[in-house]
Amino acid sequence: MIKRDFSNLTADQIEQFEIYYKELVLWNKRINLTRITDYRDVQLKHFADSVTPLDVINLQTCGNLKCIDVGSGAGFPGLPLKILVPGINLCLVESVGKKVNFLEHIVKRLSLDGVTIYNNRAEVLGRDSMFRETFDLILARALGPMNVVAELTLPFSRIGGKVILFKKGEISREIEDSHGAIIKLGGRLAGSHPTQISGLEDNRTLVILDKVSHTPDIYPRKAGIPKKRPLT
């Protein structure tokens, strides 16, 4: 069981999270970024949840880790991780233009270096040689069923890289149903790690996939197809 302690944040990091919260709520009045806007809920359900991978992988010792957040939305989980580990090279992928505008604004507002943002679909970038099988760490949060998300994420991972999927609720059947898809895509289930954030009781889990072989050229399929016809 992962238990995260936030008592060691620096003053600069605390200020960055405060700015992030204020800008998130302000922009959310104009565009739909999140249903969660209460101060405490954002701290727990967005910020704290986003950085739980730090208890699975010691990113501070990984050097210039090349990381991609697929379906980043309002920047979760990528940007909170970047705040705590400034040394990672972070790529944010988001298909909705209005959300991309927010991401560009908040990255500048937080003075974050080493962050690139792409307004495109994962199915498109996953077939681009500039992105395909080049990342060390792939993140996906609230993106859909595991067999769908595996097709959207594993093509980005180099062999030896990892995919971290943020899941919530009972997922044993979902893991079982995605096993074949993960193998087809060159992955292997490395484990699942329940997370515990004080004040939350909604059974959150990090599912870790290892990239063990090349993803076949036919994946990912064209935009929308992974969701319409999930791999089995």
What is the DSSP secondary-structure string of 46-81?
IIIHHTGGGGTS-GGGSSS-EEEEET-TTTTTHHHH
pLDDT for res 2? 41
What value does the mean pLDDT of the chain take? 93
Span 30-55, mean pLDDT? 95
Is 21 a residue whose pLDDT tops 70?
A: yes
Instruction: Provide the domain count of the chain.
Output: 1
Confidence of residue 55 (pLDDT cuts 50, 70, 90): confident
pLDDT for res 62? 63
- Is residue 26 a part of any domain in this protein? yes
Is 137 a residue whose pLDDT tops 50?
A: yes
CA terminus-to-terminus distance, the chain: 29
232 vs 83 pLDDT, higher one: 83
- Is residue 4 a part of any domain in this protein? no
- Is residue 137 a part of any domain in this protein? yes
pLDDT for res 59? 73
- Is residue 65 a part of any domain in this protein? yes
Confidence of residue 6 (pLDDT cuts 50, 70, 90): low
pLDDT for res 5? 53
What is the model's pTM?
A: 0.94
The range of the structural domain enclosing residue 135 comes to: 9-228
Confidence of residue 57 (pLDDT cuts 50, 70, 90): confident
Confidence of residue 72 (pLDDT cuts 50, 70, 90): very high
Is 164 a residue whose pLDDT tops 80?
A: yes
Give the pair of three-digit tokens for residue 220: 């990912």
pLDDT for res 3? 44
54, exposed or middle or buried, with CB in 10 Å at 0-12, 13-18, 19+?
Answer: middle
pLDDT for res 14? 95
pLDDT for res 63? 64
pLDDT for res 198? 81
- Is residue 1 a part of any domain in this protein? no
CATH of the domain at 18: 3.40.50.150
As a whole number of angstroms, the distance between CA 5 and CA 211 comes to: 30
